[in-house]
Amino acid sequence: MSRSSALRSYVVARLLLAPLMIWTVTTAVFLLMRATPGDPIDAILGPKAPAAQKLAIRSQLGLDLPLWQQYTNYLKDLLNFDLGTSLSSRGEPVWNIIQQHFPATLELALCSLTVALILGVTVGILSASRPDTSYDFWGRMFGIGTYALPMFWVGMLFKLFFAVQLGWFPDSTRFSTRLGAPQGPTSLYTIDSLLIGDFHSFGVAIYHLALPSLTLGLFLSGIFERIVRVNLKQSLTADYVEAARARGIPEWRILVFHALRNALIPVITVLGLTISAMLGGSVLTEVTFSWPGLGNRLYDAISLRDYPTVQGIIVFVSVITVMSSIVIDIVNAYVDPRIRY
């Protein structure tokens, strides 16, 4: 079988398995939400509401049905692309909630990924290109420390020091309340402000993104640092690098155009795993900085036992994670000719 045919078969197999993976996650969330203590009706009406009113609301929402019937109805709605309606937002469709909050999460994720790549790749290059030196030692400490530190603790420290004590950055919100947020087709304030040429709004958006994206990006940068460091050290001792040195090619050209290109191939693979870690980490980051994203909304929905909202957000994130993983695998297969399927 040719490489293109094998790759095509692999992609088809992954696409066929994608619904199974999403169904597994959906089922797990459905069961876990109903196994946790607490009653969503109490969250909606309060614990002192009349029992008759609670029974009426429970019947209206279908929560009085047997568990298997609730599960069957939920799967039918999913097959019709219906994520349900929120229990805590007065019947607002879950899809509307996702559309409203996801742009903030996406913007935070993109900025955090940029920070993680810049920090991780830079420190990894410095560490690998100067083995057994102080650069290498502190590079290893950076990779271990950034990944081991609790993200919420780092975020609270950043918020307390840079926002509260020094007042250099805002401690919450996505945009200044005194200015109108830029309007555009993407709902990403940085992109929309650039599209209309409003550089002041772009600066304000970056200003508010600084602390949250640094917190999440710092956590993820350790992953990239370790991968770049290990693979670049191996590449620098390879035969083709020694041959390049023997031909008199400058060391910086060997590092950038020969060794680094091969060392960055595993980074593409890790990007798929990083997306899921980033979306999971955004919950802690958004709650810490009161960021109006999907993670913060998910946290509120879990606290209020809002089953449809939690399930809808998890399904949405699962689809993004699965599809991102498939795309990364395809890109990695084309970038690295050594891969065979």
Rounded CA-CA distance 295/291 in Å is 9
Q: Which residues make beta-bridge pairs with 93?
A: 85
Mean residue pLDDT across the chain: 80
User: What pLDDT was estimated at residue 341?
Assistant: 47
Per residue in 153-178, is it b (16+ CB within 10 Å) or e — as a string? ebbeebbeebbeeeeebbeeebbeee
The residue-averaged pLDDT of 9-37 equals 81
pLDDT category of residue 339 using cuts at 50, 70 and 90: low
The residue-averaged pLDDT of 26-36 equals 83
Phi, psi of 287, deg, nearest 5: -65, -40
Is the pLDDT confidence value at 315 over 70?
yes
Task: Map tokens 């109006």 to a residue.
Answer: 292
Rounded CA-CA distance 220/262 in Å is 21
**pLDDT, tens digit, 9 for 90 and up, residues 179-206:** 777 888 888 888 888 888 888 888 888 9
- Contact predicate 257/299, CB 8 Å: no
pLDDT category of residue 298 using cuts at 50, 70 and 90: confident
User: What pLDDT was estimated at residue 337?
Assistant: 55
Percent of the chain whose pLDDT exceeds 90: 0
**pLDDT, tens digit, 9 for 90 and up, residues 60-86:** 777 777 888 888 888 888 888 888 888
Element (H, E) at 202: helix 199-236
